[in-house]
Amino acid sequence: MTIVGVLAAVAVLVFLLRIALKRAPIPFGPELPRPDSVYCGGDTMRQYEVFSTMLARMSVPSPVITEAKDALSRTDFNFRRLKPGDSVTLKYRGLQLVGLSYHLDMVTSYQVDFDSAGTAVAAKTVREVDTVRSAVSGTVAGSFWNSLLGMGEEPWLAMRFTEILRYDVDFFTESNDGDSFELLFDRLMVGGTFYRYGRVHAVHYKGRTDNTYGFYYRLPNGHWDHYNEKGQSLRKTVLRSPLEFKKVTSYFGNRFHPIHRVWRPHQGVDYAAPRGTPVSCVADGQVTVTGWLGGYGRLVEVTHRGGLKSRYGHLSGFGPGVRQGRRARQGQTIGYIGSTGDATGPHLHFEIRKGGKPVNPLRIIPPRADPVPKKYMADFKRVRDTFIGELRRISSGPPVPDSAAVAESATR
């Protein structure tokens, strides 16, 4: 045999060996475990995987997968709600799979136990969540967002804070270095580890132009909202804009049309945003149009109380559940930014019609949502004053060391 022949034979052998190794169950490596040794391994769900393909990737034989699926489907386990990043732990005794845990998050998991005959029993485990009342106060340096994140908080809390106050404070134009903020909220903890944020009870933002409070208050009928110190709702019945981060590229009124090359009135406001950006419905109402309408391209029209209609044009697609005749809620994703119809690039054409006539959306002064009803005002004020007391205590912060002690420690 020539050297080339030997090399070729070796290459073929290595190739076959690799295939053989790939097919073999390999959680234990080349050495077989002792029959009584216990082994635990884990992995996370990858994108485009489903329950069975993930377990197959982890070398679980298909009859065992079927048995586990059957056991889980006898619980409220929802195979459609699994998502990338969910984690799975497998427990082996010797070569036998004896347990499987699927963790939906830190709190909820499902445990499947296999007996020696391979029969599976599944059960759901929900861990206890502790609510820890927390307080944060700080000063803006750079931006409110970065200042709060710089204190070790996560983006959700910054988002919630700006969301609660967004009709009264425009954090893009009115936030300045030196402004101060305070928040009272709940941290949800599992076994001493941060799980997620809970309710935001009270917020306060004090800047050059704003001194705005927000207090959580729940009515006996279950309706809740954040109210200012007068008991007025911080929510407006119509949002200022259908986009959270907005850049106006064309205002309402006469303009030279970029495609038709003529001067004509622009009946709405154009906002530039990347394709696929979610567009929010500006007020509660009913969807009256979803479909293609000439230059608007893909359009959604929602009809609101008081003879108002809002129109969202050039969409690339419609939001989930957005269909003609359905209800639409304020803040719901109505569609996604696109460039359908007469559009030179991805943008939203946003239009408000009052009594059938287009009006300038930026001139609409929407009424606030309902205030605290008069009969609950006394109770609201009591809740408010407790919150104000708590906010005062956190903004005054820990006692400042007296200057003599600081000077002494500095000279040491």
Considering the complex, state which of residue 204 and residue 349 has its C-beta at the smaller distance from Zn ion: 349
Q: What is the spatial distance between Cα 234 and Cα 226, in angstroms, rounded to a whole number?
A: 6
Give whichever of 23 and 363 is closer to Zn ion, judged by the CB atom: 363
Taking the complex as a whole, the smallest distance from the CB of residue 333 to Zn ion amounts, in Å, to 20
Q: Minimum Å distance from CB 266 to Zn ion?
A: 6
Mark the segment that binds Zn ion (CB under 5 A) among 74-82, 200-208, 283-291, 346-354. Answer: 346-354
d(Cα 22, Cα 15) in Å, to the nearest integer? 11
> Quick one: 41 or 258, whose CB is closer to Zn ion?
258
| Part in contact with Zn ion (CB under 5 A); list of ranges 81-89, 144-152, 223-231, 343-351 | 343-351
Which range, of 15-23, 156-164, 238-246, 268-276, touches Zn ion by CB under 5 A? 268-276
Q: Is 270 in the site for Zn ion (CB under 5 A)?
A: yes
Nearer to Zn ion, 225 or 351 (CB): 351
Backbone φ, ψ for residue 92 (5° rounding): -110, 145
CB 391 within 8 A of CB 214: no
Of 25-33, 53-61, 345-353, 367-375, the window that binds Zn ion (rule: CB under 5 A) is: 345-353
Cβ neighbour number for residue 321 with a 10 Å cutoff: 11
CB atoms within 10 A of CB 330: 18
Q: Which of residues 52-111 bind Zn ion (CB under 5 A)?
A: none
Using CB atoms within 10 Å of the CB of residue 305, give its burial: 0 to 12 exposed, 13 to 18 middle, 19+ buried.
exposed
Nearer to Zn ion, 207 or 268 (CB): 268
Least distance from Zn ion to the Cβ atom of residue 170, Å: 23
Binding mask 219-258 for Zn ion (x = CB under 5 A): ----------------------------------------
- The answer to whether 355 touches 307, Cβ cutoff 8 Å, is yes
Name every residue whose Cβ is closer than 8 Å to that of residue 130 and which is 6 or more positions away in sequence. 188, 189, 190
Total residue length of the chain? 412
Decide: 147 and 137 in contact? Cβ < 8 Å: no
Query: Which tokens sit at 37?
Result: 């040794």
**Nearest residue (CB) to Zn ion, 236 versus 309:** 309
Q: Does 349 bind Zn ion (CB under 5 A)?
A: yes
CB of residue 314 to Zn ion, shortest distance in Å: 8
Task: Give whichever of 91 and 349 is closer to Zn ion, judged by the CB atom.
Answer: 349
CA distances from 126 to 76, 100, 193, 254, 365 (A): 13, 16, 15, 60, 47
Q: How far is the CB of 331 from Zn ion (least distance, A)?
A: 22
The answer to whether residues 110 and 124 touch, using CB atoms and an 8 Å cutoff, is yes
| Pick 363 or 382: Cβ nearer Zn ion | 363
| Using rule CB under 5 A, residue 351 touches Zn ion | no
59 vs 249, beta carbon nearer Zn ion: 249
Q: At closest approach, how far in Å is the CB of 76 from Zn ion?
A: 47
From the CB of 281, what's the least distance to Zn ion, in Å? 18
**CB nearer Zn ion, residue 67 or residue 270:** 270
Radius of gyration of the chain from its Cα atoms, rounded to whole angstroms: 30
Q: Which is nearer to Zn ion, 51 or 312 (CB)?
A: 312
Q: Which of 248, 241, 250 is nearest to 281 (CA)?
A: 241
Beta carbon of residue 45, minimum distance to Zn ion (angstroms, whole number): 42
Interacting span for Zn ion (CB under 5 A) from 15-23, 58-66, 233-241, 263-271: 263-271
Compute CA distances 380 → 166, 216, 226, 383, whole Å. 22, 9, 11, 5
Of all residues in the shown chain, the one whose CB is closest to Zn ion is: 349
User: Does position 179 bind Zn ion by CB under 5 A?
Assistant: no
Tell me how far CA of residue 257 lies from CA of 44, 266, 322, 350, in angstroms. Answer: 52, 8, 30, 16
Total residues at interface with Zn ion (CB under 5 A)? 3
Q: Least distance (Å) from Zn ion to the CB of residue 361? A: 11
Q: How far apart are the first and last CA of the chain?
A: 84
Of 360-399, binders to Zn ion (CB under 5 A) are none
Stretch that binds Zn ion, among 110-118, 344-352, 363-371, 381-389 (CB under 5 A): 344-352
At residue 197, φ and ψ (nearest 5 deg) are -80, 150
Query: In sequence order, which residues have a C-beta less than 8 Å from that of residue 395 and are 6 or more positions away?
Result: 137, 180, 182, 204
Where do contacts with Zn ion occur on this chain (CB under 5 A)? Answer: 268, 270, 349
